[in-house]
Structure formats: structure tokens, C-alpha cells
């Protein structure tokens, strides 16, 4: 069975990655419709050795579209995703617009594919935040085996997570001999402990996303999640230092065995070999885990280091895996 597929935000970083991954994974596409704003009128994209002209989203009718991938920002999804869903298209949304709606499933296929069961009530599925995805892929085998009660996580998030414009600005700053004079946003050679606006509790929106999404995906609001999200001068690949406490004791050896046997995880066994964004964080599909060690102060504590490609597994690939799961399971 082939599908008519629309990509909203086809010219952006995530949209371009969706196109590449659909091609690489031989997703059954009968017809491709790339959609974007009027700024992209006249542009074309290449898919499976064919050129497709980018169409204007405002004028598009989603009838007879099987899957619609949305990656053009929350404001766009707010208006057009319900229109596509009401027209019968399965909407997989990469923005934060629907993540915290109790009626919309928030899916990481390796973790909670079962939550897709009733998605057709609204025909919209939310893709989680990039940092949440890689964290929960890594932690899910441990949670199933020993029940995690507490998560402390520091994220080191690449510039590409802020979008193409910020990535271009970062590249400009790196090559600018006058940097950082008169710069408002100093990304190059800098570490910024804020991603998103600050909430009333002092945590950034990015940090609270990890709290809310962990509770929803693991279906457990009792898990204590304490995040710090940091922007770092890396082009691609998010890294995370994670410390967890489990209700039941697991040895480091048992944790390694659990992760080794899990889909979507690459475990780096050697204590002197660990994942880094420059190697494992760009152009990769798995979540890479290393530096697994027992907590020095808690008998049920485990520390680990996690790296993944934030544009692929953190967004585009996860979306396509959701679509593949729907096709395979006949939901």
C-alpha cells in the first residue's frame, strides 16, 4: 500500500530530514506534497530522483492525504493540523502545540506505541521534544525492569535545535573576527543555561517540557524529574548527563544488559569509549549510551551519558517511526 504524504515545513531542517529519511527507509509514498509558507514559493525539493515544487500551505486541501507531517511551528499547527485531521489525514505533529492535550497521544514508538490505540478520535499524534525522546528511549528498559522514581538530567543541546536561522547565525559568528562585539545572542564559543522562556517556578520552558512529557509518556506523574537545559556551541547532536534512582536495585552489569537488548539503543561498553555529538550526534538513528556507573551516594542510583541526533531521532525519524507503526499495526 502506497500513501499520499504531505510535509508541512518541507524546506526547514526537520522537513528536509523527513524527506531524506522517507527515502532512506523506503517508506511507501505514492505521491509527495511539500508544503511551506509563501516565502518558499518557487522552490523545489528532490525526492526519489524527482523534483517537486513546494506548494503554499494556505491554499492546500488535505482531502485524500494519508499522512501529514507538520514541522512548521506551533502557530501553523494550531491552524492547519486540525484542518488536515478533519479532512481524514493522519497528522504527526513535531511542534509543542498538542503535546499536553490529554486527548492527543504523545508517542515514542520504542516506549509507548500502545498509546496509539485510540489516536483516530482526533487523528493527531504529537511528537515529543527532542531531549525527551532520547532520554526516555535510554531509560525505558530500566524503568520497565526496576521502576524509576527520580530523574536528574542536564542537557547539552546543539544549535540546530533552535532551527535553521539560528544555525546560520552560529556559523556566521564562528567566522566573524569581530565576534562577540555588539551581539545580542552569543552562541559561538559560549554556553547558555536557558532554552525557551522562564516559567514562574524559575525553570525554562524547555526544562518543563521534559517534566510534563516524561509524566505523560511513562504514564506516571509520581516520577520526580529535575532538568537543566543548556545550549552549547555544537551544530548537531544533543547530549545528556542523566542520574536516576530506581525503586528496585539494578547492578551496572544488569543495566548494560538491558540496554544492549533494546531496540534503538547503541551501548558503548568500554569505559574509555563514550558517545559524543561530533561522532554519534549527526546522521545517526539510534540513541547512544555510555559512561554507565553506580551512584556514589545512593544504593539504587545509576548515572549515564546519552547522545542522539536531535534532528533525526529527536524529530524527523521519530515521526516516521510513528507512521510506520500505524501501518504495521493497522490502527
Three-class DSSP category at 134: helix
Task: Tell me whether residue 186 is exposed, middle or buried, using C-beta atoms within 10 angstroms of its C-beta: 0 to 12, 13 to 18, 19 or more.
Answer: middle
Tell me the C-alpha distance between 319 and 65, whole Å.
Answer: 16
DSSP state of 223: S
Catalytic residue among 114, 143, 186, 238: 238
- Grid cell digits, residue 65: 492525504
CA distance 104 to 270: 41
Is 130 among the residues known to form the active site?
A: yes
For residues 84 and 4, the answer to whether their CB atoms sit within 8 Å is no
What is the gyration radius of the CA atoms in the chain, in angstroms?
A: 20
Distances (CA, A) of 145 to 17, 140, 248, 254: 34, 9, 8, 10
As a whole number of angstroms, the distance between CA 290 and CA 50 comes to 41
Element (H, E) at 13: helix 13-24
Residue pair 108/116 in contact by the 8 Å Cβ criterion: no
Would you say 281 and 158 are in contact if contact means Cβ atoms under 8 Å apart? yes
The torsion defined by the Cα of 278, 283, 289 and 290, in degrees rounded to 10, comes to -30
Q: What is the dihedral of CA 246, 250, 251, 256, to 10 degrees?
A: -90
By the 8 A CB rule, do 107 and 331 touch?
A: no
Question: 186 an active-site residue?
Answer: no
Cα(154)–Cα(121) distance, integer angstroms: 36
Q: How many CB atoms lie within 10 A of CB 298?
A: 13
Catalytic residue among 114, 130, 143, 189: 130
Distance CA 280, CA 19 (A): 21
Q: What residues act catalytically?
A: 130, 238
Amino acid at each position: 500500500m502506497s500513501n499520499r504524504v504531505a510535509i508541512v515545513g518541507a524546506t526547514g531542517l526537520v522537513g528536509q530530514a523527513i524527506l531524506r529519511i522517507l527515502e532512506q527507509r523506503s517508506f511507501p509514498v505514492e505521491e509527495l506534497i511539500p508544503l511551506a509558507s509563501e516565502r518558499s514559493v518557487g522552490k523545489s525539493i528532490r525526492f526519489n530522483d524527482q523534483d517537486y515544487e513546494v506548494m503554499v500551505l494556505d491554499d492546500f486541501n488535505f482531502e485524500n492525504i494519508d499522512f501529514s507531517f507538520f514541522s512548521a511551528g506551533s502557530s501553523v499547527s494550531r491552524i492547519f493540523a486540525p484542518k488536515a485531521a478533519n479532512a481524514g489525514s493522519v497528522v504527526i505533529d513535531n511542534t509543542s502545540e498538542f503535546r499536553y492535550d490529554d486527548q492527543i497521544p504523545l508517542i515514542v514508538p520504542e516506549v509507548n506505541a500502545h498509546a496509539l490505540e485510540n489516536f483516530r478520535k482526533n487523528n493527531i499524534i504529537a511528537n515529543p521534544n527532542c531531549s525527551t525522546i532520547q532520554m526516555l528511549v535510554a531509560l525505558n528498559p530500566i524503568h520497565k525492569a526496576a521502576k524509576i522514581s527520580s530523574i536528574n538530567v542536564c542537557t547539552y543541546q546543539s544549535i540546530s535545535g533552535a532551527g535553521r536561522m539560528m544555525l546560520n547565525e552560529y556559523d556566521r559568528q564562528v567566522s566573524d573576527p569581530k565576534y562577540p562585539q555588539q551581539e545580542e545572542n552569543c552562541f559561538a564559543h559560549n554556553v547558555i543555561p536557558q532554552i525557551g522562556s522562564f516559567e514562574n517556578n524559575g525553570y525554562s520552558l524547555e526544562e518543563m517540557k521534559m517534566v510534563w512529557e516524561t509524566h505523560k509518556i511513562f504514564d506516571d506523574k509520581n516520577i520526580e524529574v529535575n532538568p537543566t537545559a543548556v545550549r552549547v556551541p555544537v551544530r548537531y547532536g544533543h547530549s545528556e548527563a542523566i542520574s536516576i534512582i530506581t525503586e528496585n536495585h539494578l547492578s551496572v552489569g544488569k543495566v548494560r544488559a538491558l540496554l544492549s537488548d533494546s531496540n534503538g539503543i547503541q551501548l558503548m561498553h568500554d569505559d574509555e569509549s563514550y558517545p559524543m555529538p561530533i561522532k554519534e550526534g549527526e546522521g545517526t538513528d539510534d540513541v547512544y549510551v555510555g559512561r554507565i556507573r553506580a551512584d556514589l551516594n545512593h544504593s539504587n542510583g545509576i548515572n549515564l551519558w546519552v547522545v542522539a541526533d536531535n534532528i533525526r531521532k529527536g524529530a524527523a525519524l521519530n515521526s516516521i517511526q510513528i507512521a510506520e507503526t500505524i501501518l504495521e499495526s493497522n490502527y
